Structure 1
């Protein structure tokens, strides 16, 4: 049955590969075609046909205050009146940097870039420049953007063996990325033995949230810190998702583990395109123009992103982090009840894995690595996603993506969710 969404999607496919500008938006494997949205406010957005949805994607995480927070909107409007791109030094990035660094004791300096992918790319180059080593350890199930060196998957089930998971990634790049499984500290130790004095860094999502929500034990993360220190390698925490969402200081704050380099994104720009990397001065001083590790970007520290990020983060007080978690827990409990009861238990095999303001609806529990994820997860997710979509409840259109709460998902939204679920 033709509708406006289908018409626009077909038109887009003639001009854009797959009709989308990021693959997860394509609704691949779903029964319906992508929804096109024209506006958003609070915990809701409205599609081009006028239907509204409770949004649990929240732009994949950055909208911790919800859509169109009034104070952020006012600051952005003021900034827009001053100019939206300078390509020159401006005071707004200084204000944001000062606010962040005064509240993040594990870093001294920060460099703003344009995306999480760019932050990771720069962090890897910086780690190699500092250590004068080439190889990087990453973990199966952690996503670090579409940097060539991070689009690697484990090969042949052998620790450290790797092959590209995307065309266009040279074999030489793949060879310098060593793949291990989450929770496998023995494998990490052996990898360092096998590649003595070759490993520049370990990069890890301390809260993996891009291939499901794979909550890691404190002991595993601390083990990575201990191993890197013992082998003169750096530890990179990719906190693009977890930074400023699970706590102001992200997982570094919650775990008490100090990484050498941290990458940020999403919340740090209040929903505008942004990324950042941060570390102690002795590491950051290797970046140009002070040091020999080059990085540049015309739109880096865009004034709108700097202003939007600062106003967003100023609102993230201790009380609001508590409220954020309460809002999300309320939503999670409603979903759990409905999943158990709907249609005589049609979805009763589903569980919700939950951490702070993130949740993952999945058939199973205690999933901490890719190998624990049910093999039929994608197929099973389709009827659940389509049913919720029909009810005006929007989840990310992929079984492996997590859901996000916000300060806008208050008690009124929770009541509306209940009404929609049981309608």
Structure 2
């Protein structure tokens, strides 16, 4: 493949943008090499500035559940943008979005729109602290909740990808208020609450960890967290920025039958536009300004164009059988990858939920962050490049989940598996 135009753009970008990218994992630093620069996208495909085409399993890191440039989403954006890009006063689409989210996610009796997943998680933590009068929060090793100060303690995703266990610039006093637990460890969670449960404002968790590749909760684990939070009067916060509306119409909380006190969303509710939201019980959300004393604001929150794109996407995913079909496609991909690895004699396993998956170069199942870290990341990096050269774009990190969209049909999955058989053979040595 020719990458000369991408190479030239990357050289220009590195002189002016930290690392040449506006989000760290895009730099390909952990997998080696240089990133390609996108020119356009359509359906299940990305096209770079050199004219190369890739079957895309990143999907803009999750929003493109119906594929890129879906005609219904583009039409909604085009119709809305002619009336103006931003108003600074309420618009009707914000109300429709709130009605849609609260209908699909019953635990969210009220919701506030923001501009990113990071903003949503920061705001949810503020509500938890303000509503409980407590300062400590609990997160899980390998979970990433955006780049807020409280969250960059044993975070996963790009932080782990770059080998940064904690981030300079985070005051130690604030970091000390963040307690961490190993994900999927029942006993550790119980012990922590027995010791300091009365000081914990909230527990924030990715119900399916998508920032240590893809780790599913053990049976009963999310229910255990719910019971601990209820017992100790702490708030349970589900970070559904990634899983919300993807793994089920009502997110992971619907899939696993657990009701959090607060939830955060992003990605799909913007249809590719910058957006986020947080919501939850009415008594908690009523404490957010201007109806209550917990302050949070945003100039572009509820942007009409973002609302239009998100509402069009949410309409698409409510089609009968949408998520069941997405799950079938995900299983077909993962089963095919595992079969190809077996043929090549390579230790390899997958994890999967509807519309998302994880790839691990190891034989044993992956249920914890330690399991994920024990995977052969060096072999993943070689596999990543082997797939990229064969026209398949996976997340450029051994610690990021992949995504399947409704645009990934039989032809795209077959092409991916054909590329994988060659790629596994290439990395066997």
Q: TM-score, with normalisation over the residues of structure 1?
A: 0.93
Q: Secondary structure at the match of 2:154?
A: strand
Q: Quote the residue 1:140 is aligned against.
A: 141
Q: Secondary structure at the match of 1:137?
A: strand
CA drift of 1:327 comes to 1.8
Task: Answer yes or no: is the 8 Å Cα contact 2:215–2:368 preserved in 1.
Answer: yes
1:219/1:376 CA distance change after superposition, 3 Å: closer
CA drift of 1:408 comes to 0.2
**Structure 2 CA distance, aligned partners of 1:228 and 1:382?**
39
Q: Secondary structure at the match of 1:53?
A: strand
CA drift of 1:76 comes to 0.6
Q: Quote the residue 1:349 is aligned against.
A: 347
Residue pairs, 1:15-414, within 5 angstroms: 15-153=16-154, 165-317=166-318, 318-341=320-343, 344-345=344-345, 348-364=346-362, 365-375=364-374, 377-414=376-413
**Structure 1 CA distance, aligned partners of 2:198 and 2:42?**
52
Task: Answer yes or no: is the 8 Å Cα contact 1:218–1:255 preserved in 2.
Answer: no
CA drift of 1:196 comes to 4.5
**Structure 1 CA distance, aligned partners of 2:370 and 2:3?**
40
Structure 1 residues 12-45: Cα deviation after superposition (integer angstroms, max 9, x where no partner)? 1000110000000000033421110100000001
Give the count of matched residue pairs. Answer: 411
Task: Answer yes or no: is the 8 Å Cα contact 1:164–1:174 preserved in 2.
Answer: no
CA drift of 1:418 comes to 4.1
Q: Secondary structure at the match of 1:218?
A: coil
Q: Secondary structure at the match of 1:102?
A: helix
1:119/1:412 CA distance change after superposition, 3 Å: same
CA drift of 1:420 comes to 4.1
Task: Answer yes or no: is the 8 Å Cα contact 2:349–2:365 preserved in 1.
Answer: no
Structure 1 residues 71-129: Cα deviation after superposition (integer angstroms, max 9, x where no partner)? 11101110111111111111111111112212322221100000110000000000000
Provide structure 1 residue ranges, at least 5 long, that are not aligned to the other structure: 155-162
Task: Answer yes or no: is the 8 Å Cα contact 2:341–2:421 preserved in 1.
Answer: no
Structure 1 residues 313-358: Cα deviation after superposition (integer angstroms, max 9, x where no partner)? 11112411111112222222332233233xx43xx21112111111
**Structure 2 CA distance, aligned partners of 1:393 and 1:339?**
16
**Structure 2 CA distance, aligned partners of 1:224 and 1:165?**
25
Task: Answer yes or no: is the 8 Å Cα contact 2:54–2:392 preserved in 1.
Answer: yes
Q: Structure 1 stretch 83-92 or stretch 14-23: which is displaced more?
A: 83-92
Task: Report the aligned-residue RMSD.
Answer: 1.7
Q: Structure 1 stretch 352-361 or stretch 389-398: which is displaced more?
A: 352-361
1:419/1:106 CA distance change after superposition, 3 Å: same
**Structure 2 CA distance, aligned partners of 1:422 and 1:339?**
7
Q: Secondary structure at the match of 1:38?
A: strand
Task: Answer yes or no: is the 8 Å Cα contact 2:105–2:251 preserved in 1.
Answer: no
Q: Structure 1 stretch 26-35 or stretch 126-135: which is displaced more?
A: 26-35
CA drift of 1:361 comes to 1.2
CA drift of 1:251 comes to 1.1
Provide structure 2 residue ranges, at least 5 long, that are not aligned to the other structure: 156-163, 423-429
